[in-house]
């Protein structure tokens, strides 16, 4: 079984992969594996974990007679119960802090704790977004300084900091493109996306009112330049291309693609989800990009937090800069100015509008800037190099056991792509993923990109040691060998997680999305 620790955790597995862990327990717990009920089942509406003055019911009220009299039904817990509830829940999660998290295109790197400390400094954390700018110069300086770094690292002249996440940044970029085209009286209808694009690209283009057409890929996993050139014409507003792409490869022809699109009057959107592979080594601005979003929660290590919050600043070329959304920060002789509706004036009359109520994800800006300053220009270059080195190491150590469709297309960038070819009949990528859970890993990205059957996209990131990679590679090989050999126990994996496979069909057929008191007997 190739396990690094032969003695392993108890309970152990028998030859059939079934748990032989001893008798059932009264509580359903298994020592440190603790079950936890819902707050609605353990709390009560008369219990609270805060000390506040009891409401004076005779005090005058000026709420227009709208008092909320009916029971709300919100359970409370005391502080010790609260801390225990969430601590017990937390132990049912996998996380980067527990181990390698190889989700392709998600860049699950270590989240430095200095970033957390800085974000909590009262001058940043306890600052109102509408406070007079004379009292927020340090915060505006952070936004400006981070923006300058992003511009320099991408080689682009302008940046919009307000988008709230990657998809929001994509939308920002595409709206700027549409605004720019409309401003020159050249409404175009079509946005081209590669087949391998992430689903947000077509969703964003459609949202902005465009028809989406696929660009085919070459057999080696890159955009088919000839097919793209053949499709370009006066109706094409933009192309949206991820670079490095979702097959883990650098688009060698990116500059030629950009030149062809520009020659046809269109604009170039680059999805920056995979910027970690090239940060500090390659500037997208040198490749002819007009707009690119940057996921601060990927490349610049702001925590994923179980699904957000993200942050998606967008860098722009000169052509798109005048159309960037409000608000943004400018530096003048007196300090930093927040340019918004009140202060924009005629100088920014082309701005396409506002994407969010305030100035963006300040709490992510402080973390990202802290990360960038920690690394510096030399450290960031090393980040890209180590990320790419780690991914190539994984690719070459696994290509003999897992089908690697683009292994002959050259080195991969920061992620390695595999497919399910060679698995025994009846076993799938999903089964391998669930087997990996039993090995103590979060699985890689599955079934994406769609261009590879049973795709497995592995992104180790630069914050993994060689020893950690070797152990992961060992686990991956072992599970892959079981999938090839037709090990049926994979089909019922995971065996050792807090839950076995969950019934997603039941969840979707009869959605139960909120707790309801059980009906009386």
Residues 80-109 that bind other proteins (CB under 8 A): 82-83, 85-87, 89-98, 101, 103, 106, 108
Residue 360 binding other proteins, by CB under 8 A: yes
Binding to other proteins (CB under 8 A) within 229-288 occurs at: 249-250, 252, 255, 278, 280-283, 286-287
Decide: 234 and 190 in contact? Cβ < 8 Å: no
Q: How does DSSP classify residue 217? A: B
Q: How far is the CB of 143 from other proteins (least distance, A)?
A: 9
Please choose, from the candidates 448, 451, 413, 408, the residue with its C-alpha nearest in 3D space to the C-alpha of residue 429: 448
Per-residue x/- marks for other proteins, 302-341, CB under 8 A?
-xxxxxxxxx-------------xx--------------x
Between 152 and 218, whose beta carbon lies closer to other proteins? 152
Residue 168 binding other proteins, by CB under 8 A: yes
Residue 419 pairs with which residues in a beta bridge?
Answer: 403
Residue 148 to residues 126, 159, 258, 438, 486, Cα–Cα distance (Å): 24, 8, 24, 44, 54
**SS3 of residue 458 by DSSP:** strand
Q: How far is the CB of 425 from other proteins (least distance, A)?
A: 17
Binding to other proteins (CB under 8 A) within 63-82 occurs at: 63-64, 66-68, 70-77, 79, 82
Between 36 and 290, whose beta carbon lies closer to other proteins? 36
Residue 426 binding other proteins, by CB under 8 A: no
Here the tokens at position 62 are: 């000026």
Here the tokens at position 514 are: 């909120």
Stretches 224-232, 316-324, 371-379, 482-490: which one binds other proteins (CB under 8 A)?
371-379
Q: Residue from 13, 225, 339, 437 that binds other proteins (CB under 8 A)?
A: 437
Q: How does DSSP classify residue 366? A: H
Q: How far is the CB of 260 from other proteins (least distance, A)?
A: 15
Q: Residue from 12, 38, 226, 485 that binds other proteins (CB under 8 A)?
A: 38
Query: Residue 70: how many CB atoms within 10 A of its CB?
Result: 6
Residue 422 binding other proteins, by CB under 8 A: no
Residue 456 binding other proteins, by CB under 8 A: no
Residue 9 binding other proteins, by CB under 8 A: no
Q: Residue from 24, 32, 333, 342 that binds other proteins (CB under 8 A)?
A: 342
**SS3 of residue 238 by DSSP:** strand
Stretches 42-50, 232-240, 257-265, 475-483: which one binds other proteins (CB under 8 A)?
42-50
C-alpha 151/C-alpha 164 separation (Å) is 18
> Exposure pattern of 21-33 as b/e (b: 16+ CB <10 Å)?
eeeeeeeeebeee
Residue 36 binding other proteins, by CB under 8 A: yes
Per-residue x/- marks for other proteins, 211-230, CB under 8 A?
-x------------------
Q: Residue from 328, 463, 476, 490 that binds other proteins (CB under 8 A)?
A: 463
Q: How far is the CB of 265 from other proteins (least distance, A)?
A: 20
Decide: 353 and 361 in contact? Cβ < 8 Å: no
Between 6 and 512, whose beta carbon lies closer to other proteins? 512
Decide: 370 and 114 in contact? Cβ < 8 Å: yes
Among the residues of 296-422, which ranges form H helices?
341-344, 362-398
Q: How far is the CB of 318 from other proteins (least distance, A)?
A: 18
Which positions ≥6 away from 352 have C-beta within 8 Å? 175, 176, 178, 179, 323, 324, 325
Q: Is the dihedral of CA 342, 343, 348, 349 positive or negative?
A: positive
Stretches 224-232, 314-322, 363-371, 479-487: which one binds other proteins (CB under 8 A)?
363-371
Q: Residue from 100, 139, 190, 455 that binds other proteins (CB under 8 A)?
A: 139
Between 97 and 318, whose beta carbon lies closer to other proteins? 97
* SS3 per-residue string spanning 149-206: HHHHHHCCCEEECCCCCHHHHHHHHHHHHHHHHHHCCCCCCEEEEECCCCCHHHHHHH
Between 139 and 402, whose beta carbon lies closer to other proteins? 139
Per-residue x/- marks for other proteins, 195-214, CB under 8 A?
---xxx-xxxxxxxx--x--
Q: How far is the CB of 449 from other proteins (least distance, A)?
A: 11
C-alpha 372/C-alpha 150 separation (Å) is 10
What Rg, from alpha-carbon coordinates, does the chain have? 26
Decide: 156 and 286 in contact? Cβ < 8 Å: no
Binding to other proteins (CB under 8 A) within 469-508 occurs at: 492, 494, 497-508
Give, rounded to a whole angstrom, the gap between the first and last alpha carbons of the chain. Answer: 50
Cα atoms in the Cβ-side hemisphere of radius 13 Å centred on 519: 1
Q: How far is the CB of 463 from other proteins (least distance, A)?
A: 6
Give the count of residues interacting with other proteins (CB under 8 A): 202
Residue in the block written with tokens 């990927």: 298
Q: Residue from 100, 147, 149, 271 that binds other proteins (CB under 8 A)?
A: 149
Between 15 and 60, whose beta carbon lies closer to other proteins? 60
Between 266 and 303, whose beta carbon lies closer to other proteins? 303
Please choose, from the candidates 258, 221, 237, the residue with its C-alpha nearest in 3D space to the C-alpha of residue 416: 221
Between 101 and 423, whose beta carbon lies closer to other proteins? 101
Here the tokens at position 350 are: 């082309």
Q: How far is the CB of 296 from other proteins (least distance, A)?
A: 11
Between 6 and 358, whose beta carbon lies closer to other proteins? 358
Binding to other proteins (CB under 8 A) within 16-35 occurs at: none
């Amino acid at each position: 079984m190739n396990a690094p620790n032969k003695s392993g955790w108890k309970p152990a597995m028998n030859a059939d992969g079934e748990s032989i862990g001893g008798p059932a327990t009264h509580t359903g717990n298994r020592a440190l594996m603790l079950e936890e009920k819902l707050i609605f089942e353990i709390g009560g509406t008369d219990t609270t974990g805060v000390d506040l003055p009891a409401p004076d019911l005779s005090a005058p009220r000026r709420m227009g007679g709208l008092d909320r009299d009916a029971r709300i039904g919100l359970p409370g817990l005391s502080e010790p119960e609260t801390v225990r509830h969430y601590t017990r829940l937390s132990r049912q999660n996998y996380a980067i802090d527990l181990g390698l998290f190889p989700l392709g295109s998600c860049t699950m790197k270590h989240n430095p704790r200095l970033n957390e400390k800085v974000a909590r400094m009262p001058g940043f954390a306890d600052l109102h977004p509408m406070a007079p700018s004379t009292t927020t110069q340090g915060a505006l300086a952070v936004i400006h300084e981070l923006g300058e770094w992003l511009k320099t690292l991408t080689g682009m002249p302008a940046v919009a900091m307000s988008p709230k996440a990657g998809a929001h940044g994509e939308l920002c970029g595409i709206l700027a493109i549409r605004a720019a085209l409309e401003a020159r009286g050249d409404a175009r209808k079509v946005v081209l996306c590669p087949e391998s694009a992430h689903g947000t690209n077509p969703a964003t283009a459609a949202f902005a009112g465009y028809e989406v057409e696929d660009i085919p890929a070459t057999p080696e996993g890159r955009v088919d330049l000839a097919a793209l050139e053949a499709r370009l014409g006066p109706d094409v507003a933009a192309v949206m291309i991820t670079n490095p792409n979702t097959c883990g490869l650098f688009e060698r022809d990116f500059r030629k693609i950009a030149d062809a699109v520009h020659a046809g009057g269109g604009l170039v959107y680059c999805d920056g989800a995979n910027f970690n592979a090239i940060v500090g080594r390659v500037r997208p601005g040198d490749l002819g990009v007009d707009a690119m979003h940057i996921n601060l929660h990927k490349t610049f290590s702001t925590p994923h937090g179980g699904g957000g919050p993200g942050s998606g600043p967008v860098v722009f070329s000169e052509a798109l800069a005048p159309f960037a959304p409000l608000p943004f920060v400018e530096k003048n002789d007196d300090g930093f100015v927040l340019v918004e509706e009140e202060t924009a004036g005629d100088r920014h009359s082309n701005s396409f509008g506002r994407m969010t109520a305030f100035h963006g994800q300040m709490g992510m800006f402080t973390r990202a800037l802290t990360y960038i300053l920690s690394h510096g220009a030399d450290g960031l270059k090393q980040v890209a190099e180590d990320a790419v080195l780690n991914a190539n190491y994984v690719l070459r150590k696994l290509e003999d056991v897992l089908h690697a469709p683009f292994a002959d297309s050259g080195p991969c960038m920061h992620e390695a792509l595999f497919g399910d070819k060679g698995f025994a009949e009846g076993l799938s990528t999903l089964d391998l993923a669930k087997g990996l859970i039993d090995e103590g890993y979060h699985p890689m990205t599955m079934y994406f990109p769609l261009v590879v059957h049973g795709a497995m996209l592995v992104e180790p990131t630069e914050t993994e040691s060689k020893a950690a990679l070797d152990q992961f590679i060992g686990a991956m090989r072992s599970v892959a060998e079981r999938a090839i050999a037709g090990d049926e126990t994979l089909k019922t994996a995971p065996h050792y997680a807090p839950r076995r496979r969950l019934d997603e069909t039941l969840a979707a057929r009869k959605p139960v999305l909120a707790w309801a008191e059980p009906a009386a007997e």
